[in-house]
Amino acid sequence: MAQVTIPSNVPEQYKPGWQGSTDRKMAGQMQENIPGHQHSMLDAPLDDVLLNGEKYKGSGKLKGKNAVITGSDSGIGRSTAILFAYEGASLLLHYVKEEQKDMDNLVTYLKENSPSTQVHTVAADLSNKEECHALAEKAKEVFNGRVDILFNNAGTQNEVESILDLSDEQWEYVFKTNIHAIFYLTKALIPLMPWGSSIVNNASINPFVGHPKLVDYTSTKGAIVAFTRALSNQIVKERGIRVNAICPGPILTPLVVATMGKESLESFGVTTSIGRPGQPVECATCVVFLASNDSTYVTAQMIHVNGGSPY
């Protein structure tokens, strides 16, 4: 088959075979702190630049909506916050205190690129039940008791070669952060969500694959898939709240480069049909779809954003 010429306006990050900077073996991007610092990445993820090289342009899809986004300081959460702002939403952005610089950078970016957006921020450790409840109370306060969109995005992972080396402490922490927090926060915010609201959860391709080095993480993401379907079936007719999830494949985020080993990073994204890692904006556009009136007949669904990864 003849090879098609890629238009010159396509950013390098979208071209098949792209693997990043000259040290994209990514050993140089390993970071000690989880979820990782976006400001120190060698290959800055694309937050709002599309395949055609142009910046995402909003069209008022979320105008007048109040949105809560967890884990919004970097990666998919950051990109979603930016696109939500472009679409007219007011934002409550959660982050962990260790990522203050990334959150400050995001707030500055929003002020410069979407100055009319109402932005609130809150730091919280979502592995702690009380801090989940405090986040919900903050949302109630800043949005006068109405939340239209909840994007449960925050999560953690850390590769472990063998279950024999997987500590009880890590297992419990990953479950508290990745699934318990979603339960506590969703339960607290549903009473504030009017008919027509949307809950979007960040699941993963891994429950459908079974990542051998991420047994704990994969287990929590499988729980999110089940939670999404069950909760939708419980509340969509009674309350009119749709519940869906995105299932990202190999998306280049700070969490990935902070937690995955050199071997995993060297092959990250190259086995997909598209032949490259995905960018956060490629997930964020799907979250916009699920949060907006473009998807009013979509619920209990998993939207796979994985570049054609087989599973």
d(C-alpha 253, C-alpha 279), whole Å: 8
- State how beta strands 66-69 and 149-152 pair: parallel
Query: Residues 281, 47: contact at Cβ < 8 Å?
Result: yes
* 256 CB neighbour count, 10 Å cutoff: 24
Tokens of 28: 């140089």
d(C-alpha 162, C-alpha 175), whole Å: 18
Beta-bridged to residue 119, according to DSSP, are: 91
Sequence-ordered strand ranges (E) for 62-189: 66-69, 90-95, 119-123, 149-152
The CA distances from residue 224 to 48, 77, 202, 251, in Å, are 26, 17, 8, 18
Respond yes or no: is residue 95 known to be catalytic.
no
Query: Residues 246, 305: contact at Cβ < 8 Å?
Result: yes
Query: Residues 36, 252: contact at Cβ < 8 Å?
Result: no
Query: Residues 47, 288: contact at Cβ < 8 Å?
Result: no
Catalytic site residue from 184, 217, 297, 311:
217
d(C-alpha 173, C-alpha 177), whole Å: 6
User: Annotated active-site positions, please?
Assistant: 217
